[in-house]
Structure 1
Amino acid sequence: MDYAVPLAIAVIAIIFIVRSIKVVPQQHAWVKERLGRYAGTLTPGLNFLIPFVDRIAYKHSLKEIPLDVPSQVCITRDNTQLTVDGILYFQVTDPMRASYGSSNYIMAVTQLAQTSLRSVIGKLELDKTFEERDMINAQVVSAIDEAALNWGVKVLRYEIKDLTPPSEILRAMQAQITAEREKRALIAASEGRRQEQINIATGEREAFIARSEGEKQAAINKAQGEAAAITTVAEATGQALERVATAIRQPGGEQAVQLKVAERAVDAYSKVATDSKTTLVIPSNMTEVSGLIASAMKMVQVGKSS
């Protein structure tokens, strides 16, 4: 009996100590109530309570919480049904409001996310819902965040996980995509053929121009060559005539010319006589040959006197 009282006192003291000392983990907040009324928020670390007067009413995690929003059917602006599900990320920023602002802030945030999503999708046509995911996410976050302030919750972001239209719409969309791809393929092929024809025409035109330029240059070169040849022949003939004229003026030049003319005449008669197909008519008077030579010499003398 002597040990009962001290033992009882020790047990009561341990109970008091246990109930008065609270250690809050990091990134957590505990709401304290004193006689049923809000009396403060315990921060991470060592905290003290008044036993049997204070109690921990709510415990909140201050970490970012991912919340899976159940899938639901939404109606688009063009009366098409879409099955949409997403995920919401939020964080408790005010433990007191999270405790007393709503009886269940998680359910409240979930329901508000669903109603906001239906409202946003109802303003868009089917095609836009697939193109404007970022806009839909942003509008859902904006709508939830405004209302969630009273619940001590901060909505960080919302992400649509899946948009599933009815099977009939899916088949129609697939057919449309196939048609668009075939159209692009036909356009690409026609553009390729068009470019090919342009390249061929350009090549033929350039080849024709090159050939005409070559022919032009060849004609110019040929004309220049013929002109140079004529000039050379004329100069050579002129020089030969000058030499002949000079030789004629020398003593015995006229006799040499007479001899040369006579040789040419005899040579011409001999060539004609050797041709079996040619009929040779010999002058009855051979003095005509000498007359021919005299005429040639007369022309030479005229040229000499001039």
Structure 2
Amino acid sequence: MQQTNNLRAVDLNLLVVLDALLHERHLTRAAGRLHLSQPAVSHALGRLRALLADPLFERTRGGLRPTPYALALESPLQDVLAQVRRLLSGAVFDPATSRRVFRLAMSDYGASVVLPELMRGLRRDAPGTDVEVTSGSRSAMIAGVADGQLDLAFAVFGETPAVIRRQILFEETFVCVVDAAENGAEPLTFEQYLERPHVLVAAGADQRAGEVDAALAKTGRSRRVALRLPHWAAAATVLRGTDLVLTVAKRAVSDTAAQGLAITQAPFPIAPLNFEMLWHEREDADAGLCWLRTLMTDALAPMPPTAKTD
């Protein structure tokens, strides 16, 4: 009887608040994450402390520090909330009638590749579903998947925790993009490539030196970056009327002829990249995410036609 009374005292919203506090370690940020007022989150924290008979968090100058008991709850709490989401979304996923919201993370390059195929598939087969897209560094995407805040993440990833599942969607190669009037369609020689100024796209705070510069370093040479910017979408637009060179993932550029640009092969070898989809192992059996993963695998695996690069 006592166990039944304890269950009656549990408000599922309290667990959601606890999850946000464990993730943010800050009262104001947790309130923003939940779209609640700070007093409402403080009140919920008070109820959690009474319910669990533990202070849960200690105030510090930088925010909140979880107690050992709160830290012990973090992983099982994520599992419980994931199971609740699966229960509410139904064990069987019917795309034609579903009203589910999928939470995804990707860069603007990933969005340019993933979203067109994704939205065509959803509007065709699952018109009642919605999508929330966030962006962030690769490490932030991995953390979001690990703590249950994200359903899927799309990017080129390095190492991931053992609980993270990953699937290669396609292999990405690199090409050079230049102003067609300035360079024509002839590929740059290696020396011409090094003599020209370059555009570099580097978005995340944990951005690595870059695959292009790593490949150049193996030759003992380096390039001059005249423009560094965080957005793939803007990178190609600045090339017209300049001698700038953009060395970029092939799928990031399209319709370049209409922009007066030319795509050519890189004059030195750059190892291809694997563009991947990540999810947590706890979501392996989620019917909706299984359906979505299959949709993305089928849509992105074939390489679509692109501009000629010879």
Q: Who wins on radius of gyration, i.e. which is larger?
A: 1
TM-score norm. by structure 2 comes to 0.19
- Which of structures 1 and 2 has the larger relative contact order (alpha carbons within 8 angstroms, sep 6+)? 2
